[in-house]
Structure 1
Amino acid sequence: METKRNPIFDILKIVASFLVIVNHTINIPEVITFGVDAATLSGLLAAFFTSKVAVGIFFAVSGALLIPKIESFSVVYRQRVLKILTVLVLASLFYYCFQLYEYQSLRDFSLFYFFRTIISEPFRVPLWFLYTFAGLLICLPFIRVLCQSMSRKEHLIFCGLCIFFGSFIPTLETMSGISVSPLLQYGYFSMTLGYFILGHLIFNLMPTRTFRRSYAVFAAITMIVCVGISVAFTRNDPAFINGSLIRLDDRNGLFTAVSVIATLVISQWFANKATFACRTRMVFKTLANATLMTYLIHEFVLIKLRPLYILSTNILSPWSALLLHQILVFAISTLFGLFLQYLLNKRRHQSHHS
């Protein structure tokens, strides 16, 4: 059964987890403050906007893997929803205690404050992903019924509406300054759900002959153009120069959505052409299984490695220091995730034999 596992899903999850770290390590206002040359600034902006595809890739891969499964309501809610909510509570508790340890005292711990906060907002920015993913899992049985009843053409129309309402309208507001009526902003066609169903459409419903080399090349060019437009628009925006981030870098923006689609098309074309040895597949699978923990713990690792990064900027070039910082954060977070995965598997094995 393992030989049938599509390694492209594991590769995408690994790449996306690294891109999340890239996104969170490029602080654009800080770069402006420190001052870098135009070429370095353009490169940093390009890396920053490219990394925005990470969230869309995660949701698309999740949709491709979860929507085709046949599971009862009890399995979805008892296993998947309960599991992600447990992870959310534990991760929030970890960051709450870390916050108290760093800035206050652990004696100030308040269970009431903890649960009141976890209900209203994430303790750390990266945890918003768990909230969104938990919502998708709660709706998963109904999403499956919806997708089963739709043809491929109807999938395309639905995803198109998600892109129009969830990406095009907000981007139009940003670039034109025109305020769009709330009637066109209701969340029936959100990009979160759009990415989820889009992954199912591209990887499970579209014929393999659809993904030709010419289409992959066109997708790559389109992605480069989208990133270029985002970079140019950002650098020409006066508010940005004053230190304010603009909304073109939003994960649901039109150029990000198009880049996600381009990435998925290229990935499916690559999956149809590439072959991997069993050992390579196992390496991809092992690393991919640690990506959730990599995502959750990287914020903590970023904070702890911050002094080392600042020190490295005095020795290395901005690009070298940043890349080294990103690789270290990714490596340490992934190793921690692999270690935790090992402990969980060991515990399951012991409980199974007992």
Structure 2
Amino acid sequence: MARRYGYMDWMRVVAIITVVGVHVVSKIINSTTTADWEWHYANAIDSALRWCVPIFFMLSGALLLTRDSNERIGEFLRKRLGKVLLPLLFWSAVYLTYNIYQLGEEYTIGQMAGLFLSDGIYYHLWFLYVITGLYLMAPFLRLLVKHMDKTMFHYFFAFWFLFSAAAPIFTRATGYEFAFAGQMFAPYIGYFLLGAYLVMFPLPKRWLPTLGILAAIGYAVTLWGTVIANTGREAGDFDAFYYEHYYPHAIFISLFVFVAFQQLGTKLKSTPLVTRISTATFGIYIIHPLIQTYLNRLFDFNETTINVWIGVPLSWIVIFILSYAVIRVMQKTPFVRRLVP
């Protein structure tokens, strides 16, 4: 699987654009309440975009776990971890510096180390911790994938769905903690393997209507579940339960998006621009919150500029374009390019 898949480049590009959109509308959701129409506008958009992060895990699994390679474990880990650990260290330092000099936070050396080890520095850096864990597991998961047939995959997905996706819904509904911990089938490993499965055993086109219906139901559950969960809450006291990436409604939407792109595979050819944006997604993900913050701080430019109908799409586009431009410059700069691989 050494060749490029055009539909995967397109999927990655659309997913990173979607991530930026999520972080634009989340500002509205966290600063208003269900009594405000702006909250419902933002929730309607956000609920439709929650598939973006699972898609990245699925793409990583599709590319890493199905590749026929004779790499030794040490070589594999050196290549993959080298692309994430240095950026994690550097950007953690950047966001710590922001917290100190812009937000007025004060830390001891021990507290800074604790924040780094516990993923407490900045809200979006959690993704780098999860992908690091998946890279550590990838050599072993690759062996499993190599020897698993469709039936074995189906059993795995059934257990993953039950313990990692359905069990939290049971706990939410009843108040009883499910005895079989979801960590038995860590939620993002499920997406990692699902990506590999869909490349090895593509779903036929006739499944798309059914998956589309399930995705529509998933969107409705996300949308109305979030409304119900947050009715009566104050601004800033947001219940994000239905926004989680690994509950059933999110799985259905993510599965539909991946399969839809896959079915369009022959029509989605990579262009030079799409390939460049695709290779910049990691950097765009890391840097766009800073771009978003300083556009607001320096120019009072944000999701409410003029009004939310204009401010949301306008800031969404500007943040993405500026983030991409900065990352392209960094990728062309010696040594610095290692910080945004």
Secondary structure at the aligned position of 2:63 is classed as: helix
Q: Which residue is equivalent to 1:217?
A: 209
Structure 1 residue 346: Cα displacement = 9.9
Does residue 206 (structure 1) correspond to residue 204 (structure 2)? The answer is no
Measure, in 2, the Cα distance between the counterparts of 1:206 and 1:187: 26
Secondary structure at the aligned position of 1:86 is classed as: helix
Q: Structure 1: where are the runs of 5+ without partners?
A: 349-354
> Which structure: larger Rg?
1
TM-score relative to the length of structure 2: 0.88
Structure 1 residue 104: Cα displacement = 3.6
> What is the RMSD computed on CA atoms of the aligned residues?
2.6
Q: Which residue is equivalent to 1:44?
A: 42
Structure 1 residue 246: Cα displacement = 4.0
Structure 1 residue 218: Cα displacement = 2.8
Letter of the 1:132 partner, please give it. Answer: V
| Larger fraction in helix | 1
Measure, in 1, the Cα distance between the counterparts of 2:286 and 2:303: 25
The 8 Å contact of residues 208 and 259 in structure 2, kept in 1 or not, is answered as yes
Matching residue within 256, 268, 289 for 2:250: 256
> Mapping of 1:1-354 within 5 angstroms?
4-27=3-26, 28-32=29-33, 35-36=36-37, 41-69=39-67, 70=69, 71-104=71-104, 111-174=109-172, 176-181=173-178, 183-203=179-199, 205-207=200-202, 210-212=203-205, 214-237=206-229, 241-242=233-234, 243-271=237-265, 273-276=266-269, 280-307=270-297, 308=299, 313=304, 315-316=306-307, 318-344=308-334
The 8 Å contact of residues 292 and 302 in structure 2, kept in 1 or not, is answered as no
> Would the alpha carbon gap of residues 171 and 152 (structure 1) be closer, same or farther in structure 2, given more than 3 Å must change?
same
Letter of the 2:4 partner, please give it. Answer: R
> Would the alpha carbon gap of residues 26 and 238 (structure 1) be closer, same or farther in structure 2, given more than 3 Å must change?
closer
Measure, in 2, the Cα distance between the counterparts of 1:11 and 1:244: 32
Secondary structure at the aligned position of 2:264 is classed as: helix
> Would the alpha carbon gap of residues 123 and 345 (structure 1) be closer, same or farther in structure 2, given more than 3 Å must change?
closer
Structure 1 residue 156: Cα displacement = 2.2
Deviations 1:216-245 (A, max 9, x none): 233223212211122122223365644431
Deviations 1:149-207 (A, max 9, x none): 21122112212221221111112332x233233x222412122000000000002x114
Measure, in 2, the Cα distance between the counterparts of 1:244 and 1:346: 37
The 8 Å contact of residues 230 and 239 in structure 2, kept in 1 or not, is answered as no
The 8 Å contact of residues 25 and 303 in structure 2, kept in 1 or not, is answered as no
* Identical counterparts, % of pairs: 21
Q: Give the count of matched residue pairs.
A: 331
